Structure 1
Amino acid sequence: KTITDATPGVEMFHGYTYSAHPAACAAAIAALDIYENEGLFAKAAELSDYFLDAVFSLRDLPVVTDIRGIGLLAGVDLAPKDGAPGVRGGQAVQDLWEEGVLVKMTGDTACIAPPFIAERSHIDRMIEGLRKVFGKS
């Protein structure tokens, strides 16, 4: 069975060096093999509750306005500074970097996604840094 079986009669147009390129496909298959062979999907599922409990523990901080998450992915919304949306998030990402915690900020939302190889101690360290930075915001 091939990808073209899914949409018979429809041309699968592509022409970019990154879309449907055999090297990218081979890399994706190899990555999926690693995830499966090293039990990373199971490890992520096992770590999920611990991670989400830790992230939701930040809800007591006055600057935190909303938290949501699933699996090893969470979003933490920070209250914007008066009249300056995104400024608090921009400062937080710099302060977190100095704490050794790398977090993607989109505006005033922290996008938190630890790697599947993370350990509980890594989650603890990350939450410690988030609490320190968000607590002083």
Structure 2
Amino acid sequence: RAACDRVGCLLIFDEVITGYGRLGTPFAPQYFGVMPDIILTAKGINNGTLPMGAVFASDKVWDAFVQGPPNVAEIMHGYTCSGHPAACAAGIATMDIMEREGLYTRAATMAPKWEAAIHSLKGLKNIVDIRNLGLMGAIEFAQRDGVPGVRAFEMFTKCYEKGLLARVTGDVMALSPPLIIEDSHIDQMFQIIKEVVESTD
């Protein structure tokens, strides 16, 4: 924040993944204690039921559009399908449920179990790095024979065959479970990943 203020640029948080309770707070500003100028968000707004996204902007950013340049009657940065009634209704219903069931903050309760489980894989063969925050995690694997993605994709396939859908991009298995996950699900998930890692050359 200070660096952006010093040079006069905007601080933007991309919360497509981290927003709506993933860190144990509604959004990252509450987690980090830093307020950006713009927050980008998407699928979490209506639990992915319909395509939808939103941009939250500070008064400073909003005023820059509304008050200038001269002779501009509206903000032209919308789309034909903006404000789609079904998507908006799904968004309102989703946010009501998340509020009622405490899902905006549930990850804070589950995060210690999640962190212990993901880091229990430390030291297994071909794991280069493990990182996590809130109910997110990533396991980075060594390339096989210098070819990116081959080993990780094989692990993705093996996990899927065991009933676990774990997203893989390049050499990284990226994990972000449902906010309703229970301790037993975390145990089962990382047992599958452990078995897959141990069985993959």
TM range (shorter): 0.7 to 0.9
> Quick check: 1:45 aligned with 2:108?
yes
SS at match of 1:122: helix
Deviation of 1:72 (Å): 0.5
Deviation at 1:12, TM superposition (A): 4.4
Which residue, 160, 166, 191 being the options, matches 1:128?
191
Q: Percent identity of the aligned residues?
A: 39
2:78 to 5, 14, 23: 14
**Matched pairs, number:** 133
Change (3 A) 1:30 1:9: farther
Q: Distance in 2 between matches of 1:12 and 1:132?
A: 52
Q: Which 5+ residue runs of structure 2 have no aligned equivalent?
A: 1-56, 69-74
Matched to 2:133, the amino acid is I
What is the RMSD of the two structures over their aligned residues, measured on CA atoms?
A: 1.8
More divergent stretch after superposition (102-111 vs 41-50): 41-50
Higher relative contact order (CA 8 A, sep 6+): 1
- SS in structure 2 at match of 1:134: helix
Question: Which structure is higher in helix share?
Answer: 1
What TM-score comes out, normalization by structure 1 length? 0.87
Q: 5 Å matches for 1:1-137?
A: 6-7=62-63, 8-9=66-67, 11-17=75-81, 19-137=82-200
Flag the 1:135–1:16 CA change in 2: closer, same or farther, 3 A.
Answer: farther
Question: What's the secondary structure of 1:77's corresponding residue?
Answer: strand
Q: State the distance in 2 between where 1:109 and 1:40 align.
A: 27
Q: Is the 8 A contact 1:69 1:75 kept in 2?
A: yes
The normalised TM-score by structure 2 is 0.61
Letter in 2 for 1:110: M
For structure 1, which runs of at least 5 residues remain unmatched after alignment? Answer: none
Residues 1:34 and 1:88: Cα distance change in structure 2 (over 3 Å):
same
